[in-house]
Amino acid sequence: MMKGAVANILEAIGHTPLVKLGHVAKDVKANIYVKCEFLNPAGSMKDRMTLNLVDRAEERGEIQPGGTIIEATSGNTGAGLAMIAAVRGYECIFVMPDKMSEEKIASLRAFGARVVVCPTAVEPDDPRSYYSVAKRLVEETPNSFYANQYANDDNPGGHYRFTGPEIWDETQGEMDVFVTGLGTGGTVTGCGRYFKERKPEIQLVGVDPIGSLYYDFVKTGRVTKPFTYKVEGIGEDFFPSTIDLDILDDIVRVDDKECFLMTRELVRKEGLYVGGSCGAAVAGALKYARSRDREENIVVLLPDGAAKYMSKIFNDDWMRENGYLDAEASLGVVRDLLGKKSAEEVILASSTDRVRDVISRMKAHGISQLPVVDGEKLVGAIAEVDLLRYLVTEEQSLDSAVGPLVESDYATVSPDTKIELLKNLLADARMAIVLDEDRIAGVVTKIDLIDFLARRTG
């Protein structure tokens, strides 16, 4: 072997640089560094994890020579597995949701993989979902191995064995905060465990897009209704067993627009050729840094590269069509809408309030739904239809507590959420509960939005 060479491309995985951000982070006191995982051979942080998945499966005899690797993937896990399969002689079948870019699909097919595309807007247990289709293909395909990144402990295990130690060595343990997007949870769980063992006070911060389940669950403990969103490779509509949410010290939420605009800024102002989930992670890290307003070292993991998003994030026409470039005046933010409403205190119910008292409160204030809290913690919402459904049952009692009747059919937003995004959320949710630093700052219903937009048009 010639000096300086590696035996195959798999031995080139890792050793990615850590780079300090300049222009996009100039307004914060913290030093923000990015771990350039998009420079791995197959283009993402998933290279480390997939190599660990296959290595461990081979050790256990779960995959045989000439076998077929099957996986449900948003693209990057598939690319890592396809690269490994090419080197080691396996076949591949990948199942992807239809919101993924054409570049991702084409890149997997370039490796010789078969790609099956499934609808995004279905429940995870729907037989058409990409999770369900992947499981069916495993049952139908002889000598197949289901990588199953959402439930395979070798996913966080790969980051515990490789990603975490490499970042720790590069920083010499001098980082104070580690920020990463939340998807399968393998990165934050694996890296987080490694870091916490060596520096318990390190802060682990997850970044989650509006529409995903994680943020509301971490903040309120309630499983809310997921909504569709555009950014790829981050967030989930169910809870994989590979994520340990208890390890998080904080969670920050971002929306599609700020993810995509930050992605473009990272390329144009920092020279970092990255994809949408990288923009999400950096946008979340900057929000966190501003809220802390202190000097500290923050490391942000950048998962994948820009080449897979040329037809979307870096296409001005696609960005305008989806409302991410301001071709026309913005409709404003939720704070503007709340300013037009009455300044009265938000009407709430406690989970221990009696049904009769909640009905009286709704009637007195002329409202049809309201948030429900346990102390100061939001636990859900209750609407007229929930009370009606309960009152026609045999076990109904006006003196029962409303806690068991609470539902999750609502969205949570911040005062800075764009009205354009609020419109999309209220198309599916009964109402939007406005949280400002975990405090309930208001409630927005469809009629509130209609009234706000009507006032704008005069």
- Residues assigned a catalytic role: 46
Question: What residues have CB less than 8 Å from 66, skipping those under 6 apart?
Answer: 89, 90, 91, 143
Question: What residues have CB less than 8 Å from 48, skipping those under 6 apart?
Answer: 13, 14, 40, 158, 159, 162, 163
Residues 79 and 49 sit within 8 Å (Cβ to Cβ) = no
Is the four-CA dihedral 127, 128, 130, 136 of positive or negative sign? positive
Q: What is d(CA 345, CA 303) in angstroms, rounded to the nearest whole number?
A: 43
Q: What is d(CA 150, CA 324) in angstroms, rounded to the nearest whole number?
A: 30
Q: In what order do the strands lie in the sheet with 431-436?
A: 411-413, 431-436, 439-445
Q: What is d(CA 337, CA 247) in angstroms, rounded to the nearest whole number?
A: 36
Burial class (CB in 10 A: 0-12, 13-18, 19+), 392: exposed
